[in-house]
Structure 1
Amino acid sequence: MNLLRSLPPAVAELVLVRPNDSERRDAVIMSMKLHVHQLMGSLLLLFSAGLAAQQADGERVSALLRNVCVNGVQLHYMESGSGIPVVLIHGGLGDYREWNSQIGRISNHYRVIAYSRRYNYPNDNADILPDHSAIVEARDFAALLDTLKLERVHVVGYSYGALTALFFATEHPERVRSLTLAEPPILGWLPEIPGGKAELDKFMETMWTPAAKAFRRDDPETALRITCDYFAGKGSYDQVPAEFRQSLVDNIREWKALTTSRDAFPMLSRDSVRNLKLPILLLTGEKTLAPLRMINNALTHLLPNAEQVTIPGATHDMWIEDPERCGQATANFLTKH
């Protein structure tokens, strides 16, 4: 009975149905299907509400948008607040708007800067490098700081932005006050982690390589469908709100640059990470993808003094799914350093 109490009501009822009571069993199964559809609908409504809130926040900060030219490319950025600078680096298929819900929170106490990496909205940099990578992005980031005359900054990076932040920090540790990393995809470490090679092969075979092939035959929508299938489940592209789908389309050139690059995930030295003597916060989602969990665990072993926060129930999309917890964890960390 303790087991039945732990099951959802519809599932527990199905367990108790007699084997020969087909009519009742069919009714319970129909109820379960309805429950699942209602749950998915609620999740999509919640997702839409979060995006709507971010869009409203974005309208308030869009007037602050500026741009600079560094390393031969244009970078758009926005800034708000005053004081010690905090720079936010977005993830793949995102842009500066990814941080809209965090700008107000952080700018109350800091000078916050959120920028779009070179191939992300609204930048219009035509030439795509054949070997585009986080190393290129880190060089852009360094040049952006030079242009804005920022010597030392707090850096907050998410996904590919976190990988960019790591390459920057290992090259210029003296310029980093603190480092907040939300699941950097250091894929080069996976073959050395038990079970990691299988996860890397799955990532490459089911998503990365097929997406690259779709781009090469000029079929970006299929590339996005393949990507969403991997990160959010089969058919998820058609289920996400139109606003979110448009944000993916806005940033499609970055995804093409990465998936078709000769070296999108350059090797990052474990020793260079281990030698970082900085305040570091590691953010991860409780339900993130297996390879990202493996990489985060490797980081916790290399950085035993780093603070660690797991966002309950969140996936790799933690900043969209639970911006409040992610933002509060980051704000609490920043106040200490």
Structure 2
Amino acid sequence: MTTITTDDGVKLHCEDSGAGTPIVFVHEFAGDSRSWEPQVRHFSRRWRCITYNARGYPPSDVPQDVERYSQERVREDLRCVLEGLDLRGAHIVGLSMGAFATLHFGMRYCAQGAPARARSLTLAGCGTGAHPAVYAQFQQDARALADGIERLGMAHFAATYGHGPARVQLREKDPRGFAEFARQLAEHSATGSANTMRGYQARRPCLYELTEEMGRIDVPVLVMTGDEDEPCLEPSLLIKRTIPQAGLAMLPRSGHAINLEEPALFNRLLEDFLVQVETGRYAARDAATRPSIWGPGGKP
């Protein structure tokens, strides 16, 4: 275990396992570094695996000021972890909130015309609330969830939000794993979770307004989603269509926490991707195959 201090003075708890090419795992809103245990156990046999708790998630610091939580700040926290551990040529793997951070890192630090600061990006479960048809409602719902966390606490949040329509798949497949997920979620800081929901989730920009920036990402990208994670299906297609080196994997009968629901399949798909990248066999798709980024229906 180690601690990284960000450039705005927040201490982040990091764990470092294995040796070799580094993989940095960036967790979702309802998880923390522990959520990546099935991946760390598998990949640390051949790779160096780094997990960390985002700001607001103990034992990382929990800033009290909501203005210290934002999409930009979470992106820069990822940069601080890479710089603090002197990680060069790392693969970055994010889930949900962590996938948004990874995507924004890619737009800022892996764009055409500059040396990339990551070797590849994996975006799993990325896109909740991003579609223009639901974007404003998502922001409103996120603010209401933050209010509820502050008023009712994390145990109530875990018993409600934690049982949402894209979470029940884990409960049905792996009751023991779901119970662990819910227990860990209930242990989170109410202040940190509310500030993350209000400062980051409720204020992140709409992906559909960032297609030009996404299109400039110049490293291999793997997009992964469960086919029952409805809020992420259309955004995953948008990301796949927009980024020249993106591939899309859809896991059947799966919801949001795909790394926990289907760890063997998730690990195999991710490892196949990483090996292709490492061996130089993952290239941009032929321009002739690129559809309109909006699909057959046109821009929403």
- Give the distance between the partners of 1:243 and 1:140, measured in 2 at CA: 27
**Paired residue total:** 262
- Give the distance between the partners of 1:111 and 1:331, measured in 2 at CA: 13
1:272 to 213, 238, 247: 213
Deviation at 1:202, TM superposition (A): 5.5
2:5 paired residue number:
69
Deviation at 1:305, TM superposition (A): 3.7
1:281 to 207, 214, 222: 222
Alignment of 1:191-210 (within 5 A): 191=132, 197=133, 199-200=134-135, 203=138, 207-210=141-144
The letter of the residue matching 1:274 is G
Provide TM-score, normalisation by structure 1. Answer: 0.70
Deviation at 1:265, TM superposition (A): 1.5
CA separation of 1:255/1:231 partners in 2, compared to 1, >3 Å: closer, same or farther? farther
Secondary structure of 1:336's counterpart equals helix
CA separation of 1:222/1:97 partners in 2, compared to 1, >3 Å: closer, same or farther? closer
> Retained in 2: the 8 A contact 1:130–1:260?
no
1:49 paired residue number:
none
> Retained in 1: the 8 A contact 2:66–2:198?
no
2:95 to 126, 147, 158: 158
1:258 paired residue number:
196
Deviation at 1:219, TM superposition (A): 4.1
Q: Which runs of 5+ in 2 are unaligned?
A: 111-115, 278-300
Q: Which runs of 5+ in 1 are unaligned?
A: 1-64, 192-196
Secondary structure of 1:190's counterpart equals coil
Cα offsets for 1:244-295 (capped at 9, x unmatched): 3221122244431122227531345211111111111111102112x21111
Please report the RMSD computed on the Cα atoms of aligned residues, expressed in angstroms: 2.6
1:137 paired residue number:
74
Deviation at 1:180, TM superposition (A): 0.7
1:292 paired residue number:
232
- Give the distance between the partners of 1:112 and 1:308, measured in 2 at CA: 23
CA separation of 1:121/1:231 partners in 2, compared to 1, >3 Å: closer, same or farther? farther
The letter of the residue matching 1:105 is H
1:308 to 233, 237, 248: 248
Higher relative contact order (CA 8 A, sep 6+): 2
Cα offsets for 1:73-108 (capped at 9, x unmatched): 111111122222111111112111111111132122
Deviation at 1:336, TM superposition (A): 1.0
- Give the distance between the partners of 2:144 and 2:163, measured in 1 at CA: 12
Q: State percent identity of aligned pairs.
A: 25
Structure that is richer in helix per residue: 1
- Give the distance between the partners of 1:233 and 1:246, measured in 2 at CA: 14
Cα offsets for 1:299-323 (capped at 9, x unmatched): 1221254122111211112111111
* Larger Rg computed on CA atoms: 1
Is 2:106 aligned against 1:169? yes
> Retained in 2: the 8 A contact 1:93–1:120?
no
Cα offsets for 1:207-229 (capped at 9, x unmatched): 52431221343544444444235
Deviation at 1:139, TM superposition (A): 0.7
- Give the distance between the partners of 2:243 and 2:70, measured in 1 at CA: 24
Deviation at 1:297, TM superposition (A): 1.4
